[in-house]
Amino acid sequence: MASNDSPVWFITGCSTGFGREVASQVLARGWRAVITARDQARVADLAQGAPDRVLALSLDVTDGAQIAAAVHAARERFGRVDVLLNNAGYGYQASVEEGEEAEIRAQFDANVFGLFAMTRAVLPMMREQRGGHVLNITSVAGLVGFPGSGYYAASKHAVEGWSDALAAEGKPLGIKVTCIEPGPFRTDWAGRSLKQTPNRIEAYASTAGTRLTGTASGSGQQPGDPVRAARAMIDITEQADAPRHLVLGAFGIDAVTAKLKRSLADLEKWQATSLATDFPKS
């Protein structure tokens, strides 16, 4: 039987990748979970071993009616949500100039507006509970823009900035917010969750074009271990001082550290120019 004291997780995008691995480990700990995918059949096997602790649902985060129904079902079944893991989403690669409008908007619907809507639906429960933890899987691209990933990075940067505001608003209510920023992990992301606009402009062949080719061909060779990543995500939810950011993998640490150093160097170099734009002090 499930313990009424065990935490309740609500996880989007559980059919494969990080979502599925986190769901598996959460259930292995004896905890309760709402596990979702666009096709409920893709997660039915996860529920078989623990039907009293699992609620498996079909959920497309771009569908507001499905979000409302899923959150209502979670409340009816468990009465609370302690951790919301916003994992659903996908990648889109193209040079900025070659980006296709329909693909860009579709990605923002899933990666940004769907995540926003999902969180808004769960926040009333967390507010009533005076506690909860929102985990948003962004990416190293949420902190660093790479050639060929401008629109994907923009969607993840949007979630990062929004999460800053949510963290400030939620802190007095006991609600924590962590952005998870993975680098390359062996989740078959490139094979199942990545769309690309073919590089046709020669001028971008050595920048965006090279990255598109490298991403597609490197699937299965990434250094990151999804099992260890899932364990790290779960472990931070048990910490009183959970991080606002959790970068995963050596690639991510190196890339983000280098970006922050460049940003700090710019601030320091141009500090006098920046300060000179204020009205003079009387």
Q: Which residues, at least 6 apart from 95, have a Cβ–Cβ distance to it below 8 Å? A: 147, 148, 150, 197, 199, 201, 204, 207, 208, 209
Round to whole Å and give the CA distance between 189 and 220: 9
What does the H/E/C string look like for 269-281?
HCHHHHHCCCCCC
For the annotated catalytic residues, the residue numbers are 152
For the chain, strand residue ranges (E) read 8-11, 32-37, 54-58, 83-86, 91-93, 132-137, 175-182, 194-196, 245-248
Handedness of CA 57, 63, 67, 68 (dihedral sign): negative
Joined tokens for residue 129 = 């509970």
Strand ordering across the sheet containing 132-137:
54-58, 32-37, 8-11, 83-86, 132-137, 175-182, 245-248
Round to whole Å and give the CA distance between 197 and 96: 10
Which amino acid belongs to residue 117? A
